[in-house]
Structure 1
Amino acid sequence: MLTKRIIPCLDVKEGRVVKGVQFVDLRDAGDPVELAAFYDEQGADELVFLDISASHEGRETMIDVVEEVAAKLAIPFTVGGGINTLEDMKRVLRAGADKVSLNTAAVKRPELIKEGADFFGSQCIVVAIDAKYDEALGSWRIYTHGGRQATDWEVISWAKEAVRLGAGEFLLTSMDQDGEKKGFDLALTKAVSEAVSVPVIASGGAGAAADFDEVFVKANADAALAASIFHYKETSVAEVKEYLKEKGVPVR
């Protein structure tokens, strides 16, 4: 088993970190710059910063906040939200990001993935997938605009297409589990992990250290992302890593 990564996520709205349940009922979770510094000290392997309302509001990512966060970090840093063009990617990477996360813009214009991968390399391009189980589809449907708009894409079909275009990694969020703290969506994570050849970051549902062990062992995730349990100090990155070490899961 390869070394697994633990990744806190900063969902940022109007300059503050927020967290909700199933993408709604957002509440404040603190200052993004302070939290970034805290997670760097805590031993997080990477940090994800998502400007969650940028696409919905039709604006660019908050570059000033990205620059401030990047200045505090010595770990890899992924930024998403409102990235619609190659120029947007350049701006975010110049501001200090190591990777860009594409979601709504990539679904609307899939060639954007290829443009980014050709210019920066696939290792820079993370495709974020917000997926929700659809009974009629018999699988998970892709949503855009911060979970507000359903698309015609089924999750495995979209993941395979994104890899073909140059995606280097997936940030896979279960909308059904998001903020519920009942554990990651193992079926969704396993389905995507087995369908593609690139790393999959599981997101949505972390409630305890045991959930990380489960998603690594049972669903073959390469990394696991969490927000509220870290922001509200219900557990820590260090505690999760200690637990995983005891379980024999390789972590940094």
Structure 2
Amino acid sequence: MNTRLIAKVEIKNQNIVKPIYFEGLKKIGNSKKVIQEICKHEIDEIIYLDLVASLYQRKLDLNLLKENLQNIFVPATVGGGIRSIDDCNNFFENGADKISINTYALQTNKNLINTIAKKYGSQSVVINIESKKIDNNWYCFSDNGRINSNVKVDDWIKIVQDLGAGELFIQSVDKDGTKSGYDIELFDKIFKICSVPVIIGSGAGSLRDIEKIIEIIKPEAICLSSLIYDDFSIINKIKKLLEKYNDK
């Protein structure tokens, strides 16, 4: 199995921003220019998330999405404000290869996952899980890490897999943007119950952090943002690092 390298781009208005602990947005730059720069360095995929669509209960900017993904020849998973099949149709028509869903499915209608999977196939459905440890359990959060659903991560994973989710994107609210290393305890726990591919995110601050998680877990995909923004050329270094472990 080869571990894919994915860039997470978080959109607010026309710009890419980077939160820490899902809060306090740091402006990175114009979204189209940053995405083009990322793709120049041969990233495998991107995850494109509108950070405030669900929070403000508004639609993702489809014109901006189309412009940002134009002439981008890597698969793109798109999320933000999805509430219906029509929203998914609009995403796919404007450049998305997969859709990412969190808030609406978690808070309102989990069966939308099954509806999407039946229409487009499970491979098109990525469940974004924003996890935070409280006492001795991890819980699912929504609205960019702001609202606790009181649903345990391991319970939600079992539910969404049964509903037809094709992939899970697991993030740690306490690690995201910190560059302090991955939450090994979280990923070790959830990998034991996952039957679909998992994308891990949140916390990578060095090549060693990436190497460590591969040695321990060997995930299907790693998603990065802060580390890439420090130096886009690190994408190439990470790809070379992954080659050492791929197909083993």
Query: Who is 1:170 aligned against?
Result: 168
Q: 1:189, 1:221 within 8 Å by CA — same for their partners in 2?
A: no
Aligned-pair CA distance for 1:220: 3.3
Cα distance in 1 for partners of 2:120, 2:51 equals 24
Aligned-pair CA distance for 1:32: 1.5
Query: Who is 2:246 aligned against?
Result: 250
Cα distance in 1 for partners of 2:88, 2:176 equals 27
Query: Who is 1:106 aligned against?
Result: 105
Aligned-pair CA distance for 1:235: 5.6
Q: Which runs of 5+ in 2 are unaligned?
A: none
Q: 2:3, 2:218 within 8 Å by CA — same for their partners in 1?
A: no
Aligned-pair CA distance for 1:149: 0.5
TM-score normalized by the length of structure 2: 0.96
Aligned-pair CA distance for 1:216: 2.1
Aligned-pair CA distance for 1:234: 7.0
Q: 2:6, 2:222 within 8 Å by CA — same for their partners in 1?
A: yes
Q: Which runs of 4+ in 1 moved over 6 A?
A: none
Cα distance in 2 for partners of 1:42, 1:175 equals 27
Write out per-residue CA displacement over residues 34-71 of structure 1, whole angstroms, 9 at most, x where no aligned residue: 12212222010100100011000000111112101221
Cα distance in 1 for partners of 2:34, 2:84 equals 28
Cα distance in 2 for partners of 1:185, 1:125 equals 24
Write out per-residue CA displacement over residues 205-244 of structure 1, whole angstroms, 9 at most, x where no aligned residue: 0101121222222133211111111123176210111233
Cα distance in 1 for partners of 2:143, 2:67 equals 25
Instruction: Find the residue that maps to 1:130 and give its secondary structure.
Output: strand
Residue in structure 2 matching 1:215, options 200, 213, 216: 213
Instruction: Find the residue that maps to 1:56 and give its secondary structure.
Output: coil
The aligned runs of 1:1-252 (5 Å cut-off) are: 2-108=1-107, 109-135=109-135, 138-233=136-231, 236-245=234-243, 248-250=244-246
TM-score normalized by the length of structure 1: 0.94
Aligned-pair CA distance for 1:29: 0.5
User: What letter matches 2:186 in structure 1?
Assistant: L
Cα distance in 2 for partners of 1:189, 1:220 equals 11
Cα distance in 2 for partners of 1:239, 1:94 equals 34
Range 207-216 or range 171-180, more displaced: 207-216
Cα distance in 2 for partners of 1:220, 1:154 equals 24
Q: 2:16, 2:29 within 8 Å by CA — same for their partners in 1?
A: yes
Cα distance in 2 for partners of 1:244, 1:127 equals 24
Aligned-pair CA distance for 1:25: 1.4
User: What letter matches 2:245 in structure 1?
Assistant: V
Q: 1:189, 1:220 within 8 Å by CA — same for their partners in 2?
A: no
Instruction: Find the residue that maps to 1:213 and give its secondary structure.
Output: helix
Cα distance in 2 for partners of 1:95, 1:226 equals 24
Instruction: Find the residue that maps to 1:47 and give its secondary structure.
Output: strand
Cα distance in 2 for partners of 1:234, 1:99 equals 24
The CA RMSD over aligned residues, in Å, is: 1.3
Q: Which runs of 5+ in 1 are unaligned?
A: none
Seen in structure 2, the aligned counterparts of structure 1 residues 190 and 67 have a Cα distance that, compared at 3 Å, is: same
Q: 2:37, 2:232 within 8 Å by CA — same for their partners in 1?
A: no
Percent identity, please.
30
User: What letter matches 2:121 in structure 1?
Assistant: G
Aligned-pair CA distance for 1:23: 0.8
Cα distance in 2 for partners of 1:100, 1:190 equals 25
